[in-house]
Amino acid sequence: MSGEPLSTSVPKPARARGAGSALGWALTIVCNVVAPIVTYNQLTDAGWSEFTALLVSGLWPLLDIAVHLVWRRTVDEFAMISLAFLVLTGLVTLVGPHSARLMLVKDSAVTGLFGLLCLATLAAPRPLMFYFGRKFATDGSPESHAWWNGMWQFEGFRTTMRTITVAWGVGYLVEAGVRIGLSYALSTGAMVTVNSVLSYGVMGLLVVWTIWYSKRAQARGQARAAAAEAEALQAATENQPLSGTPERA
């Protein structure tokens, strides 16, 4: 079964696309990048402390998650992981001295924990990026989920998911280290902007690499399947008796 082309065994359903997807991404960018920066700047200009302004500006991603949960009317792995890390960030923030700089360091440390989580799931039946991939490669319908789950039977797909998980884990560990270092080198105001830009810059690079790597892996898999099919066809042709050959007495 592992050598069977995917298209003949687990057909991919059509994915719904449109204005709803674009609106969802716009909301994510506003709540996770634009709104936190604007909120922090406005609050500090109004006389709020750096720590309090940083804490309040960090609530915007929670709104993003809430809107998506109400909009989609479903709770999936991606939303639960995002919510869990947001809660973890809040708890870590409230522990220890209430320093804006230390809060930035703790926030970076949580990002590092995500990297460690990615690497830890390599020991699980399915790595974390399998579920993230299902979130973004399907439209959430039962048919598309069944298609994605069925792809796990192929060795090439399993290798791809594990490799992507390693890349994201290592990438976020490196990003956490850089952010912690910059937290001590830059001012709090500058770091608020750097945090948002760096977080989504690293994510963007990882997404672009993931798409490139996935397409490359898919092309290799299709090439192997085509070669195997051609080899099987050639073997079957060679084993057939030649028509018109006279039988010997």
pTM score over 0.85: no
Q: How large is the average pLDDT for residues 135-157? A: 84
* Per-residue pLDDT, 164: 95
Say what the pLDDT of residue 167 is.
Answer: 96
Question: Would the CA dihedral through 117, 120, 124, 130 be positive or negative?
Answer: positive
Query: Tokens standing for 36?
Result: 């936190």
Beta-carbon count within 10 A of 109 CB: 16
Residue bearing the bigger pLDDT, 53 or 162: 162
To the nearest 10°, the Cα dihedral for 16, 17, 22, 25?
50
What is the mean pLDDT of the segment spanning 87-100?
67
Query: What is the arithmetic mean of pLDDT over 207-217?
Result: 90
- In this structure, the number of other CB atoms found within 10 A of the CB of residue 21 comes to 12
Residue bearing the bigger pLDDT, 70 or 13? 70
- Dump pLDDT digits (tens) for 114-128: 899 899 999 999 999
Q: Which two tokens stand for residue 20?
A: 């709803």
Q: Is the pLDDT of residue 219 over 50?
A: yes
At 1, is the pLDDT very low, low, confident or very high (cuts 50, 70, 90)?
very low
Structure confidence by residue, pLDDT tens digits, 167-198: 999 999 999 999 899 988 888 888 888 887 88
Q: Give the integer Cα–Cα distance in Å for 229 and 5.
A: 9
Tell me what percent of the residues of the chain surpass a pLDDT of 90. Answer: 18
- pLDDT at site 63: 79
Pick 56 or 127 by higher pLDDT. Answer: 127
pLDDT at 73: 65
pLDDT interval class at 19 (50, 70, 90): low
**Ranges of H-type helices in the chain:** 6-9, 19-29, 35-45, 50-57, 60-72, 77-94, 100-120, 128-137, 142-150, 155-185, 188-239
The candidate with the shortest Cα–Cα distance to 161, out of 201, 202, 118, is: 118
